[in-house]
Amino acid sequence: MLRKLFKYDFLAIGKNMWIFTIIAICLAVVACFTFNGIYEIGNFIGNAPSDRDMALGVSLMMAAVMLFALCLCGIIAYAVIGMIMILVRYYSNFFTDEGYLTFTLPVKTSTLLHSKILSGISWFAIIGVVVVLSFVAVATTIAAVTGDSYLWEVSDYYTVEPESISVIGEIIVGMTETISFVIAIIEPVLLMFLCVTLASVIARRARVVIGIGLFFAVNSVTSALVTAGDVFMSYITTEYFGYNYYIDTATQSVFYILLYGSILVVSYLLNRYLLKNKLNLI
């Protein structure tokens, strides 16, 4: 049953999202070409034979920069639209008239929730991959066109190499970072679903908007906790062990796992309880 539910959910979200995904990929391609154009126009302006040519070049440059910015905004908008689509599907299938069919299917409430989580995470991952690859493509184009290596210098800046390589340290850091990465993908989807469920239980109108508001409120609090926790953990580990790449990185990941893992578990359990016991379709 879970497989069937997942199929319907995934396809229902995909009905519109495939089109937006193709548009986002096209926007990334256009952004790459546009940047190339911006560079060429820059050269043209630098060697403009007359004021008239320079004015034309500046106008073209402004149009190209605007197009480039629009493309990047479009890719970000794609991510936002994707999240809204996942939320709307969840809300409409559970809390509008569709809920009368959904909740009378011969399946457990938890199975219904699992199908939504799986389809939500799948789409969240697809959106993430498309957005990241789009920006990587744009960044690579910028680096290739300009011939600058500053992008790689920036990434080098954030990669702190350990003074001595430890196999156990590498394994622990790898494991904790992988787990925290997986949790980072699942947690926002579960938290968003919980917020919409809560909004649907307590409010009669504008439930999706209230749900999104709740989500951002909880996220602001957790972000503040993460920042404070990062500083505190770094201080404690440095104080006790001196600076050690492995201990510092692993401690940070464990902190993320504990914080976001707790939110993930609470979101899942509370959502399941509410759907099972407090559902009230209007």
Give min distance, CB of 224 to other proteins, in A: 34
Give min distance, CB of 211 to other proteins, in A: 20
Does 203 contact other proteins by CB under 8 A? no
Q: Which stretch binds other proteins (CB under 8 A): 54-62, 77-85, 93-101, 132-140?
A: 93-101
R_g over Cα of the chain: 24
| Unique residue bearing structure tokens 């980072």 | 184
Name which position in 37, 57, 82, 99 contacts other proteins (CB under 8 A): 99
220 burial type by CB count under 10 A (0-12 exposed, 13-18 middle, 19+ buried): exposed
Give min distance, CB of 99 to other proteins, in A: 8
Q: Reduced to 3 states, what is the DSSP secondary structure of residue 165? A: coil
Which whole-number Å values give the CA distances from 197 to 92, 212, 254, in the listed order? 11, 11, 29
Name which position in 47, 50, 104, 164 contacts other proteins (CB under 8 A): 104
Which of these, 281, 11, 241, 234, lies nearest to 122 by C-alpha position?
A: 11
Give min distance, CB of 164 to other proteins, in A: 57
Name which position in 26, 108, 160, 181 contacts other proteins (CB under 8 A): 108
Name which position in 62, 66, 97, 174 contacts other proteins (CB under 8 A): 97
Does 276 contact other proteins by CB under 8 A? yes
Give min distance, CB of 17 to other proteins, in A: 13
Q: How far apart are CA 250 and CA 105, in angstroms?
A: 45
- Nearest CB to other proteins, comparing residues 13 and 257: 13
Give min distance, CB of 9 to other proteins, in A: 11
Name which position in 33, 39, 103, 135 contacts other proteins (CB under 8 A): 103
Which whole-number Å values give the CA distances from 87 to 124, 125, 168, 203, 209, in the listed order? 11, 15, 41, 16, 10
The structure tokens listed for 104 are 């009378």
Does 4 contact other proteins by CB under 8 A? yes
9 close to 116: Cβ distance less than 8 angstroms: yes
The structure tokens listed for 240 are 């006790």
Which whole-number Å values give the CA distances from 139 to 121, 128, 151, 166, in the listed order? 26, 16, 8, 33
Applying CB under 8 A, the residues found at the interface with other proteins are 1, 4, 8, 12, 15, 92, 97-101, 103-108, 276-281
